[in-house]
Structure 1
Amino acid sequence: MEEVHDNLWPLPQFYFIVKFSSHDDMGSFQEVSGLETEIPVSESQKDNNQAFKTFKIPEIGQVGRITLKRGVFVKSNHFLKWYDTFKTNIIQREILTLQLVNEKGELAMAWTLLNAWPTKISGLDLRFDVTDVAVDILELAYEGLTVS
């Protein structure tokens, strides 16, 4: 029979904080996916060099889209204005910082998204009497990614 121990370590509870560089507004999300960059490689043949049939050349780097899930922006007038521009099909790019923090609020890792804008927002919970915005899914396109 397997023995049960009371001194098992609990799993750490991490969450993500989203900060706008242009405003003090911030939100928090439980899940983030798609933080990736890729540098495609093309192959080329150089003249009649028999030693190397082809050689590889790095192309321009590409970034994907990130998806943030199950979040809330607290007292976030700026996020609501950003959402309004999204609804009217006007692209307003923002520099965003994503911070991975533990249950004590200590920073574990951070990413900066350059020129980010929303491409998909779903599951919004908007109420007229509060400025807190609950978001089920927020998908962002961005033009650059740095890790700090």
Structure 2
Amino acid sequence: MADDGSSQSQTIWPLVKFSFQVKWDDKELVFQEVTGLSSETQVIEYRGGNSKVYSTVKMPGIQKFGNVTLKKGTFKGDKDLWDKYNEIKMNTFKRSTITINLLDESNAVAMTWTLTNAFPAKITVTDMKSDANEVAVETMELAHEGLKLSS
């Protein structure tokens, strides 16, 4: 008898990455791609002058968070990203909490990444080519001060 998969564990299959949602201040925005969810801890190296060991001690230092890049198709009359970007005035932009949810096969939230104090740092308009057969895509880069994972 063929195995139809109904008796398999729910944890046996990894999540797919093509089903996700992005919420910016409780408003859901639709994106084609989200990249750059990363955190890095800088390494501090120290060696005391009287150390008998000829190497340094390594300690964890300050955390750094990479910018998150959001990509979406360009639609006639859709100015959501430009409106957010144009709100920036010399250090007076309202910083936002942005959540990125990875969804499971039933569209329920499986994992959530939260960006703290996020704001638009860069916006890029689509490139235009007369011989291309592609969708127009605009890109926004977000700077933020923290990345938290919850499930």
Same fold (TM over 0.5): yes
Task: Report the counterpart of residue 116 of structure 2 in structure 1.
Answer: 114
Q: 1:18 aligns with which of 22, 28, 34?
A: 22
Per-residue deviation at 1:120? 1.5
Q: From the superposition, tell whether residues 48 and 118 of structure 1 become closer, same or farther in structure 2 (CA, over 3 Å).
A: same
Structure 1 partner of 2:44 = 42
Given that 2:123 and 2:141 are in contact with CA atoms closer than 8 Å, whether structure 1 keeps it comes out as: yes
- Kindly state the Cα deviation for residue 84 of structure 1 after the two structures are TM-superposed: 2.9
Partner of 1:69, secondary structure, is: strand
The 1:79–1:70 alpha-carbon spacing in structure 2 relative to 1, beyond 3 Å, is closer
Asked if the contact 1:19/1:96 (under 8 Å) is kept, the reply is yes
Q: Which moved more, 1:99-108 or 1:31-40?
A: 99-108
Runs of 4+ in structure 1 over 6 Å off: 76-80
In structure 2, the partner of 1:127 is none
* Structure 2 length-normalised TM: 0.66
Shift of 1:19: 1.2
1:68 equivalent in structure 2: 70
Please report the RMSD computed on the Cα atoms of aligned residues, expressed in angstroms: 3.2
Please give the alpha-carbon distance, in whole angstroms, between the structure 2 residues aligned to 1:52 and 1:13. Answer: 46
Distance apart, 1:26 and its partner CA? 1.1
- State the partner residue of 1:53: 55
The residue identity in structure 2 corresponding to 1:16 is F
Question: In 2 relative to 1, CA 103–77 (structure 1 residues): closer, same or farther, beyond 3 Å?
Answer: farther
Aligned to 2:98: 96
Q: CA deviation at 1:40?
A: 0.8
Q: Tell me, in whole angstroms, the C-alpha distance in 2 between the residues paired with 1:18 and 1:42.
A: 35
Which residue is equivalent to 2:139? 137
Match of residue 35 from structure 2? 33
2:125 to 123, 126, 130: 123
CA drift at 1:51: 3.6
CA contact (8 A) 1:45 1:55 kept: yes
Render the CA deviation track for 1:79-100: whole Å, top value 9, x for unaligned: 66533313x4542210111112
What are structure 1's unaligned runs of at least 5 residues?
1-11, 125-133
Asked whether the 8 Å contact 1:121–1:135 carries over to 2, the reply is no
Cα distance between partner residues in 1 of 2:64 and 2:147: 10
- TM-score after normalising by structure 1: 0.67
